[in-house]
Chains A and B, each alone.
Chain A
Amino acid sequence: MTDVLPLAVSFDAFTSLGFWLGVGVIAGSYTIFTLGLQLNVGFTGIYNFGQAGFMAVGAYSMAILVTDTGINFWLALPMSMLITIGFGLIVGLPSLRLRADYFAIATIAASEAIRLIALNWGGLTGGAQGIFGFDDSWDSLADTIEGWLMDLGWSDPDTLAPLFIVVWIVAIGLTFLLSRVQRTPWGRVLRAVREDEDAARALGKNAYSYKLQSLSISAALAAIAGFFLAINLAFVIPDEFGPTFTFVGYSMLVLGGLANYWGVAIGAIIFETLLEGLRFIDLPISEVKIAALRFIILGLILIGLMAFRPQGMLGKREEMVLGD
C-alpha cells in the first residue's frame, strides 16, 4: 500500500524520452480509469469510490484467464470486461438504492473487500506475489508497432512507445465516444437523473436502471484501465489496487473539471506531470519522504480545489452537482 502509483519507469534517466513516455502511459491509464468516474460522478451524480476494485477485477480476470486457462489474450480482454461489468452489477444492484454518502462507503468497502480477497486467495490470485506471464500476445503486438515506427524513420524506438501510442489512442477514442454518447437522449436522461431524480422518474424514466447502466459502463472502463496497468507493470499485485488509486482518480477528475470528458485527460496529464516532476527537484531528503511529499501535495490540492474551485479547470459552475 505504501506506493500505489505505478512507477515502472527507469529511474536513472529523468530527462529521457523513456521517462516521459512512462508518465504518459500512467496518465493515459488514469484517463481511462477516470472517464468512468466522470460518467458516474459528473454526469449521473453517483459517487462511485470503488473504481480501483473494478479495475482489480478486470486486471485479475484477464491475468487468470490467460495464465490459468490458456485463453487467448485478445479474447480474455472482452471476457474480463464482461466479468467486471458483472461485478459492477453485483455491487450496484443493492447499493445504488442507498443515499449518496452511504453509496460512497459501500463502494469503497466493496473495493477493499476485493483487494483483500485477491491478497488472501493465493491459489487463484497468487496472493501478495501476484500473477505475471500473461502478456506474450501484447509483446508481439508491441514488436509489430515498433517495426512500423522504424519504417516511419524512428531508428531505435523506445520500448514504451507502443504502449504509449495504444493507451492514448484508446483514451482519446473513449473520450470522444463518451462525449458523443452524452449528447444522445440516453446521455440527457443521465443528466436529468443527476439534476433531479424525482423529476426524471416523474417523466417515466427508470432512474435506478440508468444509474446501474452508468455504473456498469464505468466498471468496464476501469477494466480497460486495469489491462493497461497490468501490461505496463507486466504483473498484477493486490497493492496496486488500493483505494488511493481511486482517490488519485478523483483528484484528476476534479482538477480537470466535473461534467467535461476532455477535462479528464487534462487533469490526468497535469497531475502525473506534477507528481513525477517532483523528482526533478533535487531535495536533500530520503525517498520515503519524497514519496510522502507527493501525497501531501495531492491532499493539499484536493482540499484547495474543493474549497476554492470545486468545478475544476474546465467544469462549468452551473453544471455542478456541488454546492447547491
Chain B
Amino acid sequence: MEAATVAVEREGPLERLREYARAHPARTAIGVLFLIVVVLVVAKGLHDVAQTALIGLSTGSIYALGAVGLTLVYGILKLTNFAHGDFLAFGAYMAYIVNVSWGIPLVVGVIAAMAMTALLGVILEKGMWAPMRARRAGVLQLILMSIGLALVIRYGIQYFAGTELRTLDVNKTDTIKFLGLTIGRTQAIVILVGFVTLIGTGLMLRYSLLGKRMRALSDNLDLAETAGIDTSRVILWTWVFAGAFAGLAGVLYGATTQLQPEMGFELLLPLFAAVVLGGIGDAFGALAGGILLGIVIEWSTLFLESGLKLAVGFVVLIVVLVIRPQGIFGKARTL
C-alpha cells in the first residue's frame, strides 16, 4: 500500500499531489516516511538504518509517554505547560531517592515516581491552574506561570540534589543481540515498558468511559459539561495520567541516560515536537509523533554529528508547524 502511495505521488502533477496529500494526511505521512526509509537504506545500508531505528524506538517511547500527558493537558485545559519536562525530571529524582538513596529495587521506584508526579500534578491543578482558570487567565499569563513553575521545580531539584550527574541502579552494560542488531538490556526494557503502557493508554482512551470523557473534554469542554460530564473530576484524572506518565517517562529516560536537574528542559522541546507532530491535543497523535520523532532524530545521526540531533528535532518541529500546524494526522479543525 505504501508503494502505491509513493507511485501516485511520483506520477501525478503537483496540483493533484497536493490535493491527495491534503485528503489523506496519514497515508501521505506513511508514504513520505517510506521514501525516507528507502533513501536511507540505499545510502547507509539496511543494518545501520535498522540499528538506529531500534535505538530511536527507545527514546521515541519515552517521548511518546511524556508527550501524551502534555497533549492531553493542552487539549483539555488549553494550557501550554512549559513545566511538563520538569515533571519528568521530578519523577526521575523521586525514583532515584527510592532506588539509590534507600536501596529499594527500581520497580518500586517507578511506582513511587508515578505516584508522586501524579500527586504533584493534582496539587498544582488545585492550587494554581483551577484558580487561574476561574479568573479567566490569558494565554501569555498561563505560559509565563508555567515557565515560573518550571524554574521552581528545576532549581528546587538543583537545590536539594545538586548539579552532579546521578545514575539509577540499573544494568547498563548487558546487551541483547538479535538479527544482527544490538541493543542495551535497559533500552530493550524501556521499549517494552513504553509500548505496553502506550497500548494500554490507547485502549483506555478509546474504550473506557474515562478515556471517552477525556476526549470529549478535549473536543469541547463546555459541550462536555452541558452533556453532564463532571468536568472537574475528569480534569483531575487528566492530571493524574499526565503526571504518572511523565514520572514513568522520566524514570525510563533516567535509566537509559543520567539524571541532572536540566534534564527536564532538555526533554521539553522534543516533547512539544512530538505533540505538534501528532497534532496538539490529539493523544493518539502524540503517541505516534513521539515514536516517529525518536526514530527520525536517531536517523539524523547517520549524517550529522550526534550533538545536532536535538537541533534536527527542533527543525522538524518548526517545519511541521509551518506546513501542517494541525499535525500530520490531525484534521484542520484543531487549528
Binding site for B on A (CB under 8 A): 1-2, 41, 47, 94-95, 97-102, 104-106, 108-110, 112-113, 116-117, 119-120, 243-244, 247, 250-251, 254, 288-289, 291-296, 298-303, 305-307, 310, 321-324
Contacts and interface: CB of A to CB of B under 8 A. Distances in A.
Contacts of B265: 1, 243
B235 to A, nearest CB: 19
A-B CB proximity, top 5 nearest:
A302-B148, A299-B151, A299-B152, A322-B138, A116-B311
Interface residues of B, number: 49
A32 B240 CA distance: 42
Contact of A247 (B135, B147, B273): B147
Interface string B45-77: 000000000000000000000000000000000
B321 A95 contact: yes
A113 B128 contact: no
B253 interface: no
20 contacts: A95-B322, A105-B317, A108-B269, A119-B307, A120-B308, A251-B148, A288-B162, A288-B163, A289-B158, A296-B151, A299-B147, A299-B148, A300-B148, A303-B128, A306-B144, A306-B145, A307-B128, A307-B131, A307-B132, A322-B140
Interface of B: 80, 128, 131-132, 135-145, 147-152, 154-156, 158-159, 162-163, 261-262, 265, 269, 272-273, 276, 280, 305, 307-308, 310-311, 314-315, 317-318, 321-322, 325, 335
Contacts, number: 150
A292 B156 contact: yes
Contact of A41 (B135, B140, B142, B150): B140
Contacts of B152: 296, 299-300, 303
Contacts of A108: 269
B307 A302 contact: no
A41 to B, nearest CB: 7
Contacts of A47: 139-140, 143
Contacts of B158: 288-289, 291-292, 295
A112 B314 contact: yes
Contact of B311 (A94, A112, A300, A321): A112
Given A94-B321, A299-B147, A322-B140, 10 more contacts: A105-B80, A105-B321, A109-B317, A112-B310, A120-B308, A289-B159, A296-B155, A296-B159, A303-B152, A323-B137
Contacts of A243: 265
Nearest to B275: A105
